[in-house]
A and B are shown apart, each in its own frame.
Chain A
């Protein structure tokens, strides 16, 4: 009986906490594609070779081989693009929205989802100005937001910042290698 109770406690502790919305996707779209009133989804069903290239470049492959960019248009002119990027860790998933402007540089990053456990860590990293470090980055510039905020935040928020850096790096690679293809 002791082992059953111990097992239940361990299982409960290991259980990933539920996901919470930090920023609604609609709000993230409005912030990252300002003024856009028409949208298209550009969906890439990525080949094995391209998946491998992405993996070699940034250690990431698109989940189930799919990458979707949402392109915003204002009066039929492209205003920018964004993609939602998930980053997994042992505490659960994070979701980012990474927006690109017309020059292909990062317009902004929003953390749209986290788990209940991760939320306070993520918020601490965001309050320290993490996402400001990504603004204007070209897609070949590695994100270094975590290095900038780590001296001012705790260890777990620092770890969250590293994960967000990683998500931005994956989004940059996807944009660099896929976005311009027709």
Chain B
């Protein structure tokens, strides 16, 4: 074992606690943001990352000739912008978010290394932590390029992120503060 959080210095446990609290808070706001801009259902995710426009599900390939459609809209409709992520924005999102997700996964993995759990469980937790952002962005790109049906992959990524954090935070809090074994 690299190190053991149960027997670690008070300062280390304090650092880990604050890190988990900060990450947990940012995850809660992240979930709120997803609810505001993308939604938690495959349909909503597909609307956000899939092809744009009225015929969102029906027309993914560019038509042979430009198609024009006209419909009445209200002032309110013009004001409320539907949050839609096109390819250029997704390139930007992937570029700026993937490194941050990697750093968060690495931080949580370092905490996981200090947990008193079997080797296989540690490997599984680390795999979940790093799989989550891959699934998240793979889902977005597949929804964009292949089929809106892949929206569920993004949702799976989001839930994997929440699951990984919850497992690490719960085990760390328990082992550091509640179920702690004192040094002989």
Contacts and interface: CB of A to CB of B under 8 A. Distances in A.
Interface string B82-110: 00101111001000100110110011001
Contacts of B100: 11-12, 15
Interface string A53-67: 000000000011110
B66 A42 contact: no
Interface stretch (B47-55, B116-124, B150-158, B166-174): B47-55
Interface residues of B, number: 39
Contacts of B102: 7, 11
B66 A46 contact: yes
Nearest to B93: A16
B9 interface: no
B75 A29 contact: yes
Interface in A22-48: 24-26, 29, 38-48
Contact of B69 (A10, A43, A84): A43
B51 A16 contact: no
Contacts of A105: none
Interface in B31-57: 51-55
B52 A25 contact: no
Nearest to B88: A88
Given A15-B100, A39-B73, A7 B63 contact: no
B79 interface: yes
Nearest to A84: B81
Interface residues of A, number: 42
A7 B72 contact: no
A46 B89 contact: no
Given A64-B87, A88-B88, A43 B53 contact: yes
B1 interface: no
A40 B71 contact: yes
Contact of B52 (A39, A65, A71): A65
Contacts of A131: none
Contacts of B54: 43
A64 B84 contact: yes
B68 A51 contact: no
A178 interface: yes
B129 to A, nearest CB: 14
Given A15-B100, A64-B84, A45 B106 contact: no
B178 interface: no
A14 B70 contact: no
Given A45-B55, A63-B87, A88 B92 contact: yes
Contacts of A46: 62, 66
B59 interface: yes
Contact of A42 (B51, B64, B70, B78): B70
B79 A45 contact: no
B90 to A, nearest CB: 10
8 contacts: A4-B107, A4-B110, A11-B103, A14-B96, A41-B77, A43-B71, A47-B63, A63-B88
